[in-house]
A and B are shown apart, each in its own frame.
Chain A
Amino acid sequence: MKGLILKDWKILRRQGHHYGMALLLICAIAFVGSKNFSSFITSYLTFMITMFAISSFNYDEYENGMAFLISMPSGRRGYVSAKYIFSILLIFSGWLLGSLIRMVFFLLRFSAAEYLEILPEEPVYLSLCLIYISFVFPVLIKYGAEKGRNIAFMILLVVCIGAFLISRLKLSVSVFAWFFALLEKTPFAAALFLLGICIAVLSISYGLSLWIMKKKEF
């Protein structure tokens, strides 16, 4: 399984120049953009890394590589486990980097007090991306990277439209209202709540992916 994780890491490093450019862009935006725009730093970086985790399936399917990888000693379970571990670590690292850049941006241009005000929203970006891969990974494993990517895009589109409608129509959704109240009053409890949700959704997703992979033929 370690070999599979290392393989994805090596591919990421080989494609790293794309991500390096994006990071530079983010830093530039961070130091010229407004305070309100700063959420872009964490959200964009976390989402960009999430997209790499998703595209790693494409690299595996390059010239039917998936069958070869499944034939390796770690097998089907090892493949699924490696994908989840690699992606969670990667997304967490991307989010942490984004959060750190945003923190530096606030401390240099504004104040620590203002930074503490926006801090509770940071775990939301991480949670959204982890929940997103939880939905997308079983689809990618079931339908393959090419078809699965379109479905993943559809899922993202539905989520975005849903979020837009909720904000636009000022729909009163009790769960959201409850969560945002929790976020303001006790950010730590809200972060723990999010962590719990992420662990639950990721666990269900992992189980589903494994079940799909064990039945899949190559």
Chain B
Amino acid sequence: MLIKLENVEKHYSGFHLNCTMEVPEGNVTALIGPNGAGKSTTFKALLGLIFPEAGTIELFGKPIEQVTEKDKEKLGIVLSEGFFSGYLHVEDLVPVLNHFYARFQKEEFLSRCRRFELPMGKKIKELSTGMRAKLKLLIALSHDAKVLILDEPTAGLDVLAREEILDMLREYMIPGDRSVLISSHISSDLEGLCDDFYLIDQGKIILHEETDVLLGNYGVLKVTNEQYQALDRSRILRKKRESFGYSLLTDQKQFYQENAPELSMEKGTIDETIMMMIKGEAV
């Protein structure tokens, strides 16, 4: 397991993180959830930026306290907030990264910068949001990292820029022995990229599912009050009151399609699942 968090706890005033998750080799795992759910806190704990009060964190199979400088060179990082000083020019980063990482691939980095038309002679603070996001990811990809930890790499980007970034990540995963842990609240981005995802809300993981299973087996039933009363609710995960009756989230869509074909069924998406898991109530 390249990344493992077990019962990691952190208390802040009005917030309590209690997180258990893992990222195996060859996987793209997403951590999704609404703003303030605990995504960034989880990332900070994983990167050693905060100190959990309980639980264990492992990176590359080692407890985080034993992770060496050499091990950290195998990490590529994008933080939602936090980057090199905006007063540095893009071209200044080349020698800096060369000294940070023994496996820095200078030519590859420069060629990618040209491919994405990053202006080398410009200050970082003068770059557009999209340019800066691309630069952050290019740096994370620049030193043959084995694991990428990406906190909101597509935040604030338009559809085209987001797609370019997702393409870069698909390209990165081609060798098969790498892993990505990515957080985003733009879940539609993740449907075509991630193998599995963890849904976090109020500091707790409330769902872990493979993306294929979610897209194939999850669905949202739209039922009236009468239909709800008559329904076999044993395979319903969450219900939500609506003006017409109820929305019901199930992880066994096929069961209801076969046994109650008259009911309206919407395909499960990550967005729909998040909404139902967070806003809905247990049946």
Q: Which of A67-75, A92-100, A158-166 contacts B (4 or more CB under 8 A)?
A: A67-75
Q: Are A63 and B50 in contact (CB under 8 A)?
A: no
Interface class of chain A by DSSP: helix
Complex: chain A residue closest to B149, CB-CB? A71
For residue B174, CB closer than 8 A to chain A, the reply is no
Chain A residues, CB < 8 A from B101: 73
For the A-B complex, the count of residue pairs with Cβ-Cβ distances under 8 Å equals 89
The answer to whether the Cβ of A196 comes within 8 Å of any Cβ in the partner chain is no
* B230 to A: closest C-beta gap in Å: 54
A109 at the interface (CB under 8 A from B): no
User: Does A37 sit at the interface, judged by CB under 8 A?
Assistant: no
* A6, B44: Cβ atoms closer than 8 Å: no
Contact of B82 among A11, A15, A67, A74 (CB under 8 A): A67
Question: Judging by beta carbons under 8 Å apart, are A65 and B92 in contact?
Answer: no
Chain A positions 104-147 with a Cβ under 8 Å from a chain B Cβ:
none
Set of chain A residues within 8 Å of B87, measured between Cβ atoms: 11, 14-15, 59, 62
**In the complex, A2→B101 CA distance in Å?**
10
A92→B101 CA distance, assembly (Å)? 29
Q: How far is the CA of A198 from the CA of B95 in the complex (A)?
A: 32
A170 to B88, CA, bound (A): 48
Least CB distance from A18 to B in Å reads 12
Chain A residue at minimum C-beta to C-beta distance from B80: A64
Tell me if A74 and B79 are in contact (CB < 8 A): no
Given the known inter-chain contacts A3-B96, A65-B83, A68-B79, please indicate yes or no for A217 contacting B69, CB distance below 8 A: no
Q: Give min CB distance, B115 to chain A, whole Å.
A: 24
Assembled-state Cα–Cα distance A74/B71 (Å): 11
On whether the beta carbons of B83 and A73 are closer than 8 Å, the reply is no
Q: B148: CB under 8 A from chain A?
A: no
User: In this assembly, does A187 line the interface, its C-beta being within 8 Å of a C-beta of chain B?
Assistant: no
Interface residues of A in 51-80 (CB under 8 A from B): 59-60, 62-75, 78
Chain B residues whose CB sits within 8 angstroms of the CB of A59 once the complex forms: 85, 87
Q: Which residue of B lies closest to A58 (CB)?
A: B85
Q: Which residue of A lies closest to B40 (CB)?
A: A67
* Beta-carbon contacts under 8 Å, A1-36 to B: 2-3, 6-7, 10-11, 14-15
Contact of A178 with B by CB under 8 A: no
Residue count of chain A within 8 Å CB distance of chain B: 27
Whose C-beta in chain B lies nearest to the C-beta of A72?
B100
Q: Does B51 contact A (CB under 8 A)?
A: yes
Tell which of A10, A64, A73, A75 touches B88, judged by Cβ atoms closer than 8 Å: A10
B73 within 8 A of A: yes
- Asked whether, in the complex, the Cβ of A68 is within 8 Å of the Cβ of B77, the reply is yes
Taking a contact as CB atoms under 8 Å apart, the answer to whether A2 and B99 are in contact is yes
Q: In the complex, A63 Cα to B81 Cα: how many Å?
A: 7
With A and B bound together, what is the CA distance between A64 and B85 in angstroms? Answer: 9
Report how far A26 CA is from B235 CA in the complex, Å: 81
Given contacts A62-B85, A62-B87, contact A74 B100 (CB under 8 A): yes
Q: What 1/0 mask marks residues of chain B from 62 to 82 whose CB sits below 8 Å from any chain A CB?
A: 000000011011010101011
Q: How far is the CA of A143 from the CA of B79 in the complex (A)?
A: 22
Nearest Cβ in chain A — how far from B182, in angstroms? 16
Q: Are B49 and A218 in contact (CB under 8 A)?
A: yes
B143 to chain A, nearest CB (A): 9
- Report the separation of the CA atoms of residues A95 and B132 in the bound assembly, to the nearest whole angstrom: 38
When the two chains form their complex, are residues B96 and A6 in contact, meaning their CB atoms are under 8 A apart? yes
Closest to B101 in A: A73
Say yes or no: A3-B99 contact (C-beta < 8 A), given A73-B69, A73-B72, A217-B51.
Answer: yes
Instruction: Give 14 new A-B contacts, CB below 8 A, not counting A60-B85, A68-B79.
Output: A2-B99, A3-B97, A10-B88, A11-B85, A62-B87, A63-B82, A67-B44, A68-B77, A71-B82, A72-B72, A72-B100, A75-B48, A217-B51, A218-B44
7 of the cross-chain contacts (CB-CB < 8 Å) are A7-B88, A7-B92, A64-B79, A65-B83, A68-B84, A71-B82, A217-B51
